[in-house]
């Protein structure tokens, strides 16, 4: 199938095949990686190697901790204010759409003061606010952004400079899709199930100064300090998910690293955006061109009826996952790192063909 699912999403075929080969016996130990103790030297080696690979691929400087957590990126929406918003401090958020909203609502739910530093609501969340529109509250403990809005299909092209205010980014749907200067961020987090591997593990990259002086009166499992001092082994980690992330990171490295991912992703996205832009209005791109996502490409047709027919015919032709998110409708092609160029070529050809038959 041409897999354009938004998440869980396509995994590299080479990774799945390697996992299949190693499923029953991992590295000659006589059992599966799923069956070993997380306190074993084999798992410890896997934990360390996965951290090192991520550090290398993302160019993470010294002074950051890499944590493997559970509970999805959604749990980070609560853990961030719980850990970082001391009394009198404010959480500043850039409101770019559905995921940003979920993040700041969780802080509100916990009774914290939230400041919307910028919003693209007036543009129906179809563009990222200009960086100079972002107004950070002076008492901010952090500025939170959603690097890529998976539902709307918008993506920060550049990140704000926040001075002394820690910048925290939800990169669930675009981590490793392009190089990022990690030193600009105090924290980056991402659920694995798009560019990193299967669901079950959430990666958090946190600058060490943020881990100082954190509140101790919150549930143990929700304290970053606990996961950091225990090297993500406070309790049983999602061993198999971490193993799969390890394989995905090796695949990225073998395929030229994050720079090569970006090059391919740009070429893939261009194929589909060109099909939209050259359609003379038959396909309507949802995101403003300057905010278009490399990962989630959203578009509409003139009527819902035509969209239904597009999806039906696309499914028959082997395309999976092109229906837009249930909250916004329309169409969405998620072209994550593991989606091959041929799938995007096939989709662009299908779009042109469908247009010809229906206009």
Is 193 one of the annotated binding-site residues?
yes
CA 17, CA 359: separation in Å to the nearest integer?
Answer: 42
CA 236, CA 338: separation in Å to the nearest integer?
Answer: 28
Tell whether residue 170 is a contact of ligand PLP (CB under 6 A). yes
Please give the DSSP secondary-structure letter assigned to residue 295. S
Q: Are 7 and 194 in contact (CB under 8 A)?
A: yes
Footprint of ligand PLP on 96-115 (CB under 6 A): 99
Task: Using CB under 6 A, pick the residue from 74, 309, 313, 355 that binds ligand PLP.
Answer: 74
Q: At closest approach, how far in Å is the CB of 332 from ligand PLP?
A: 12
Tell whether residue 173 is a contact of ligand PLP (CB under 6 A). yes
Name the one range near ligand PLP by CB under 6 A: 41-49, 110-118, 166-174, 327-335: 166-174
197 CB-side CA count, 13 A = 26
CA 103, CA 180: separation in Å to the nearest integer?
Answer: 22
Is 209 one of the annotated binding-site residues?
no
Q: Is 277 tagged catalytic?
A: no
Task: Reduce the DSSP state of residue 300 to 3 states and report it.
Answer: strand
Tell whether residue 7 is a contact of ligand PLP (CB under 6 A). yes
Question: Which residue lies nearer to ligand PLP by CB, 156 or 282?
Answer: 156
Q: Is 274 tagged catalytic?
A: no
Question: Which residue lies nearer to ligand PLP by CB, 83 or 146?
Answer: 146
Tell whether residue 150 is a contact of ligand PLP (CB under 6 A). yes
CA 114, CA 116: separation in Å to the nearest integer?
Answer: 7
Is 74 one of the annotated binding-site residues?
yes
Task: Using CB under 6 A, pick the residue from 96, 146, 232, 291 that binds ligand PLP.
Answer: 146
Question: Which residue lies nearer to ligand PLP by CB, 154 or 279?
Answer: 154
Is 314 one of the annotated binding-site residues?
no
Please give the DSSP secondary-structure letter assigned to residue 163. T
SS3 labels along 24-89: CCCCCCCCCHHHCCCCCHHHHHHHHHHHHHHHHHHCCCCCEEEEEECCHHHHHHHHHHHHHCCCCC
Tell whether residue 8 is a contact of ligand PLP (CB under 6 A). no
Task: Please pick, among 86, 102, 170, 268, the residue that the annotation labels catalytic.
Answer: 170
Please give the DSSP secondary-structure letter assigned to residue 296. E
Tell whether residue 241 is a contact of ligand PLP (CB under 6 A). no
CA 269, CA 293: separation in Å to the nearest integer?
Answer: 8
Q: Is 139 tagged catalytic?
A: no
Tell whether residue 140 is a contact of ligand PLP (CB under 6 A). no
Task: Please pick, among 174, 194, 250, 323, the residue that the annotation labels catalytic.
Answer: 194
Q: At closest approach, how far in Å is the CB of 70 from ligand PLP?
A: 10
Tell whether residue 172 is a contact of ligand PLP (CB under 6 A). yes
The CA–CA distances, whole Å, from 295 to 8, 156, 188 equal: 13, 12, 18
Give the count of residues interacting with ligand PLP (CB under 6 A): 11
The CA–CA distances, whole Å, from 248 to 16, 87, 186, 197 equal: 9, 40, 25, 6
Give the x/- contact pattern for ligand PLP in 300-319, rule: CB under 6 A.
--------------------
Question: What is the per-residue DSSP string for 199-254?
Answer: TT-EEEEEEGGGGTT--SSS-GGG-HHHHHHTTT-SS---HHHHHHHHHHHHHHHH
Please give the DSSP secondary-structure letter assigned to residue 292. B
CA 161 to the chain's CA centroid: 21
Q: At closest approach, how far in Å is the CB of 41 from ligand PLP?
A: 30
Tell whether residue 128 is a contact of ligand PLP (CB under 6 A). no
Positions in the binding site for ligand PLP (CB under 6 A): 7, 72-74, 99, 146, 150, 170, 172-173, 191
Residues tagged in the binding site annotation for pyridoxal 5'-phosphate:
73-74, 99, 150, 170, 193, 235-236
Residues designated as active site: 99, 170, 194
């Amino acid at each position: 199938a041409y897999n354009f699912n938004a998440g869980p999403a396509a995994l590299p075929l080479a990774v799945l095949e390697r996992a299949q080969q190693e499923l029953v016996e991992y590295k000659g130990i006589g059992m599966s990686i799923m069956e070993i103790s997380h306190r074993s030297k084999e798992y410890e080696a896997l934990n360390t190697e996965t951290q090192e690979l991520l550090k290398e691929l993302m160019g993470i400087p010294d002074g950051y901790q890499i944590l493997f957590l559970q509970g999805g990126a959604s749990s980070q929406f609560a853990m961030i204010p719980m850990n970082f918003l001391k009394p009198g401090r404010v959480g500043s958020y850039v409101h770019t759409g559905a995921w940003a909203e979920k993040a700041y609502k969780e802080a509100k739910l916990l009774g914290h003061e939230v400041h919307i530093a910028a919003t693209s609501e007036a543009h129906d969340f179809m563009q990222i606010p200009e960086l100079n529109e972002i107004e950070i509250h002076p008492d901010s403990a952090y500025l939170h952004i959603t690097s890529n809005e998976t539902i709307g299909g918008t993506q920060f092209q550049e990140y704000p400079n926040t001075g002394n205010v820690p910048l925290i980014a939800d990169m669930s749907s675009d981590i490793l899709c392009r190089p990022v200067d990690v030193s600009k961020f105090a924290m980056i987090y991402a659920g694995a199930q798009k560019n990193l591997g299967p669901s079950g593990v959430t990666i958090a990259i946190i600058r060490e100064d943020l881990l100082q002086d954190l509140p101790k009166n919150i549930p143990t499992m929700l304290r970053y300090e606990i996961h950091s001092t225990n090297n993500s082994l406070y309790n049983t980690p999602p061993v198999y998910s971490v193993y799969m992330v390890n394989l995905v990171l090796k695949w990225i490295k073998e395929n030229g690293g994050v720079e090569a991912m970006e090059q391919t992703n740009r070429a893939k996205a261009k194929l589909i955006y060109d099909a939209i832009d050259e359609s003379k209005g038959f396909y309507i791109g949802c995101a403003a061109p300057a905010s278009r996502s490399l990962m989630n490409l959203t578009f509409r047709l003139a009527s819902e009826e035509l969209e239904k027919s597009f999806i039906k015919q696309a499914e028959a032709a082997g395309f999976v996952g092109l229906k837009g998110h249930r909250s916004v409708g329309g169409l969405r092609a998620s072209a994550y790192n593991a989606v091959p160029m041929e799938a995007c070529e096939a989709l662009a050809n299908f779009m042109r063909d469908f247009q010809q038959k229906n206009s």
